[in-house]
Amino acid sequence: MTSSAAAAGAPARSGRAQVPPPGLPGLDPRFSRIVTVPGRGTDAGTARSWHLLDSQPALDELGLAPVGTILAVHGNPTWSYLWRSVVSGSVEAARAGAPAWRVIAVDQLEMGYSERTGIRRPLAQRVQDLGGLTDALELDGDVVTLGHDWGGVVSLGWAVDHPEQLAGVMMLNTAVHHPAGVPIPAPLRLAGARGVLAASTVRTTAFLDTTLALASPALDPAVRDAYRAPYASADRRDGIGGFVADIPVDARHESFAELERIAAGVAALTVPALMLWGPRDPIFGDRYLDDLVTRLPHADVHRFEGAGHMIAEERPVADAVFAWLGERVAEHSGTDAAPAAAAPGAPAPASASGAGEPAPFTPIFRALETRADDDSTAVIDMTRSAAGTTSSSATEPLRVSWRQLNTRVRQIAAGLSAMGVQRGDRVSLLVPPGPTLSAIVYACLRIGAVVVVADAGLGVKGLTRAVRGAWPDVIIGELPGLTAARVLGWPGLRISASRLPRLTAAALGVATCLADVAALGAHSDLPDEPGADDPAAILFTSGSTGPAKGVAYTHGQLAALRDVLAAHFGVTADTGLVTGFAPFALLGPALGTRSATPDMDVSAPRTLTAASVAAAVRASDARMVFLSPAAVLNVVATAESLTDADREALARVDAFLSTGAPVGAPLLTSIGALMPNATAHTPYGMTECLLVTDVTLDEITAATDAADSGVLVGAPIGANRVRISALDADGRATGIPSEDPGVLGEVLISAAHLKDHYDRLWLTDRAAARDVPEDGARWHRTGDIGHLDAAGRLWIEGRLPHVIVTSDGPLAPVGPEQQIERVDGVRRVAVVGVGPHRLRQAIAVVETAPAASRPGLADPALTEAVRAATSTSLAAVLAVPALPTDIRHNSKIDRTRLSVWAERVLAGERPVAP
């Protein structure tokens, strides 16, 4: 140890409990106390002394009576210091007017500053120890447990044994069950190995140091020394070794039965539950989270992306704890446990649009069943994967009839069901868009399995986060996806989409192939259909505004999306749809119309050409074309390659749609020239609600001279609603949501097809539903900023994190960007802020045509032209060869990254590409 505070307060080598030394960072000495407790179990007849942190004295000073007690239990090799922010946070929250919660954070016997008894303490003994302590403290009101690591198991043991006092359970990375046949995590396996246990846990500080080193970012040295302080000598570390030795690796271990008892008891709990998780934990990873969610399906879960085992040090856990207590745990003075919180996905009390009763529910797979005897074309696949693996030539599209698609869906559905895939099981799909993916999706939906879809554009790292975060029960994939699943340790029973050689399948851990699943299903029955409120899908966002989030939909919400799309755009069986945008490629069968995917790499939208679109239109006789903005860019750029036959085919298109990012009038005009008889639409939406508003090119052109800033995205579709929460002087959306015109603020949306929730992101869900209208509808804060005009149309002006808070107030970036893009030689531009908050200065970063040779200050002539084009005062103009964009859309500019880069350049650093 190097900390003077730790050195000065080195504890006695053994014996009774004592208080920590003064000066430990963040620990108020007022909270420390020693309690003498009659022993239980093997300790019966012997008094034991405990050190604990207790916020009661501070609450007494404030004259506040607590509404209940948080019983916080640390794991191995930490101590009650782990909960110092929760202890002090309880006082701060109470001082701010929130309900007062007493926090008791214990040092388990043999740990921290509690007594060293010299007695082995297996799990059952530790649960009894904790019960004896709470009896001695005479806790007589509601208790909510909070545990981490093996302290989570001990605290849950207490919870199971005290149902009359229990009001809720909270846990950080922990486990109550380890699956048979799966090795325990490597760090624990190594530490517990014969000949290593004592050396790594007791005789040296190796286990302690390794655990503390798991924190990211690294712990402050003084904080690290505070954790080490109670364990200064080998005889003070016996408890660390004892905890590791007590890990029940199999049924022969003496603590195995107690762990099984606790696990079964947890599954019977109905009180509110909260799980705060660090997914990078090498010990208690997502495997254990999934098990706990299975046992407590009503629990609120938040995975802090990037956090690990020392999550209490890495993330604002105390804030989450008290926010959850205020919302989920009933405030009452009796001893009955609070009722369970509504499970994620529970139906809203009224229709999502707030307009009376919801429409009758028809599942999206019904269209397939109604055309089961139809031999006309349902799906046409012209993608490179189809041409390369399933067609006889690169120019011959793969056609699938309605009869074939329905038969395939039914067989796969029945086969999966016969294999044991049940309603609510998660199935991750690592298959490119096309007929095979469509069949798997509709098969899973038919049996009530939840499809998990993450775009390959997320990259390997993003896909890994998505798949592990969703923790699927089954993975169905092609060879590349299955290889990644094997190498990266993705969970789930593995099924190959195509038949693999036996050795390859064995090497990848593949259980079976889709053909064998379908063969099994040909002689099996289908289960009952899912209902409207059953979970249906988890679709991952693009990751362009932070780590990709899993967006959960119910069957009713997917059906509502189908219905609003069909009604607004007049889709019928004869429409025909060409789509280069994966989410809508899957909707063709649900709409009952034939659909075609053009020749392209579906994970790279910019690979789509104008000729490919024309060929797909001709092959499908489509009247509607749906492309992403990035795809449109290349379609326009390759228009010169079109033949007369291509142009004739495109002239038959009635409607063109592009969504996923704002699309300006010039680009829509260019694509409109290729489809001269089509009405060009650019709907506004997001993964959380794919269709919110819609606007046509004619409407955009007519609004060219309007005084409004931003991108016009149109009026709400159907019964959808939009409101604006005004920005305050700090750039925060704090205004009461309204439909008043001309107010700059965050966009709030409501629709029948709005997502149900974010998967295992309770805090994110909470933020998205903060201060929304209380009208019985479901509302969502989008993070977009903009305003409504007098006609009720929405104008988008950027993202909330990109607001530039100047001395004159908040500035949205899109308006000035639109002005600057009119300058000759400017291809794209981003307006970002530099400098301190509330004094930030706007600068323009431009991508020129032709491209700048190197990044840096723009030349004087371009700088003058840019400044003259906008009414916004610019502190500087920088030029770059290319603006950074997100991987998936290739169109959303990364303004946050640009802002950091620009500050460095203007501070004198050598400019390199952002």
DSSP 791-850: TS-EEEEEEGGG-EEETTEEE-SHHHHHHHTTSTTEEEEEEEEESSTTS-EEEEEEEESS
101 bridge partner residues: 68
**Per-residue model confidence (pLDDT) at position 245:** 92
**Per-residue model confidence (pLDDT) at position 341:** 43
Q: How many whole angstroms separate alpha carbon 177 and alpha carbon 154?
A: 13
Q: Which residue carries 């395939």 as its tokens?
A: 408
List the one residue out of 617, 586, 606, 540 whose CA is nearest residue 434: 586
Segments of the chain with pLDDT less than 50: 1-10, 12, 331-356, 387-394, 887-890
**Per-residue model confidence (pLDDT) at position 5:** 35
Whether the CA torsion 637, 599, 548, 694 is positive or negative: it is positive
HSE (side-chain half, CA atoms, 13 Å) at 900:
6
Gyration radius of the chain over CA positions: 30
Domains and CATH numbers, the chain: 31-184+239-328 (3.40.50.1820), 682-799 (2.30.38.10), 803-914 (3.30.300.30)
C-alpha distances in Å from residue 881, one per residue of 816, 827, 878, 911: 20, 10, 10, 12
Q: Which two tokens stand for residue 774?
A: 């209380």
Q: What is the dihedral of CA 772, 775, 777, 778, to 10 degrees?
A: 20
Judge whether 411 and 518 are in contact, CB under 8 Å.
yes
**Per-residue model confidence (pLDDT) at position 14:** 61
Write the single-letter amino acid at 587.
L
**Per-residue model confidence (pLDDT) at position 195:** 60
32 bridge partner residues: 53
Q: How many whole angstroms separate alpha carbon 890 and alpha carbon 748?
A: 25
Q: How many whole angstroms separate alpha carbon 150 and alpha carbon 83?
A: 15
Other beta carbons within 10 Å of 561: 24
Judge whether 474 and 425 are in contact, CB under 8 Å.
yes
Q: Which two tokens stand for residue 458?
A: 């997320």
Q: Which two tokens stand for residue 556?
A: 């009713």
Distance from the Cα of residue 647 to its chain's centroid: 43
Q: Exposed/middle/buried for 706, CB within 10 Å: 0-12, 13-18, 19+?
A: middle
Q: How many whole angstroms separate alpha carbon 449 and alpha carbon 411?
A: 15
**Per-residue model confidence (pLDDT) at position 401:** 96
Q: Which two tokens stand for residue 77?
A: 């090799």
799 bridge partner residues: 784
Q: For residue range 657-714, list pLDDT tens digits in order.
A: 988 776 778 888 999 899 999 999 999 999 999 999 999 999 999 998 888 999 999 9
Q: Which residue carries 């780590």 as its tokens?
A: 547
Residues in the chain: 914
**Per-residue model confidence (pLDDT) at position 355:** 44
Q: How many whole angstroms separate alpha carbon 83 and alpha carbon 78?
A: 10
Distance from the Cα of residue 186 to its chain's centroid: 27
**Per-residue model confidence (pLDDT) at position 349:** 39
Q: How many whole angstroms separate alpha carbon 393 and alpha carbon 344?
A: 48
